[in-house]
């Protein structure tokens, strides 16, 4: 996997994004490998005091010693699959970062979604980018500013397509929120992989 020739960049107060369209080599094959290799689960989340199924399937994959909590869930990491190791290696070549964890989301169709949030949990290395790889159906990815730093900045909508790599560089997670809204017309599924660097003594660049 080599970086595509074209890199698109967005800059705004507190926001830095880079997009490599069609970055994944052999994206069709990687999609079907990940559909089969990953132990996908539908977790439950507590919303307004009630337990509800998450509107997507997920899996958390990480090196030994990386613990991570999100949406109130303590995530037991799964081992790296062959396809994930290939993509992680290619990210290292493109970005110069070696990620020690990845959160996988599987949106079965356009009624699966993710609400507004930032990837700003204290376990994450704040100097590291978040590298988001998309496979399958194209979906709109939305960002909006939060707090004073983002005042006056307009929300942004990107269309993330099969094989795209989106990198959210620091300090984006501190000043912006992102979401994947429902798109009821979308019938195909989409996988998204967000590679992260958890702070551990072994997790340095």
Ligand X SMILES: O=C(O)CCC(=O)C(=O)O
Coil vs helix vs strand at 24: coil
Selected from 12, 19, 84, 103, the binder of ligand X by CB under 6 A is 103
Let me know: does 106 contact 134? Beta carbons within 8 Å: no
For ligand X, the closer of residues 34 and 180 by Cβ is: 180
At 20, list the tokens.
């490599």
* Nearer to ligand X among residue 5 and residue 74 (C-beta): 74
Residue 119 binds to ligand X (criterion: CB under 6 A): yes
First-to-final CA distance of the chain: 21
Positive or negative, the Cα torsion across 1, 93, 3, 108?
positive
Residue from 88, 175, 178, 183 binding ligand X (CB under 6 A): 178
58 binds ligand X (CB under 6 A): no
* Distance (Å, whole) CA 26 – CA 71: 32
Q: Contact letters (x/-) for ligand X, 142-161, by CB under 6 A?
A: ------------------x-
Given 100, 132, 172, 173, the residue binding ligand X (CB under 6 A): 132
User: On the CB side of 111, how many CA atoms lie within 13 Å of its CA?
Assistant: 1
Instruction: Name the site residues for ligand X (rule: CB under 6 A).
Output: 103, 105, 114, 119, 132, 141, 160, 178, 180, 192, 194
């Amino acid at each position: 996997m080599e970086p595509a020739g074209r890199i698109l960049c967005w800059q705004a107060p507190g926001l830095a994004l880079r997009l490599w369209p069609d970055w994944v080599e052999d994206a069709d094959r990687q999609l079907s490998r990940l559909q089969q290799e990953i132990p996908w689960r539908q977790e439950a989340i507590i919303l307004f005091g009630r337990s509800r199924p998450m509107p997507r399937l997920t899996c958390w994959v990480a090196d030994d010693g990386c613990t991570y909590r999100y949406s109130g869930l303590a995530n037991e990491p799964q081992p790296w699959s062959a396809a994930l190791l290939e993509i992680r290696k290619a990210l290292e070549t493109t970005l110069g970062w070696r990620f020690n964890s990845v959160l996988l989301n599987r949106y079965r169709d356009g009624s699966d979604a993710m609400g507004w949030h930032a990837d700003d949990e204290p376990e994450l290395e704040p100097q590291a980018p978040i590298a988001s790889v998309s496979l399958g159906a194209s979906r709109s990815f939305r960002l909006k500013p939060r707090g004073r730093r983002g005042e006056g900045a307009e929300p942004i909508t990107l269309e993330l397509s099969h094989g795209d790599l989106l990198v959210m560089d620091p300090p984006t997670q501190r000043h912006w929120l992102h979401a994947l809204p429902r798109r009821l017309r979308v019938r195909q599924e989409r996988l998204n992989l967000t590679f992260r660097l958890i702070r551990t003594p072994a997790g340095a660049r």
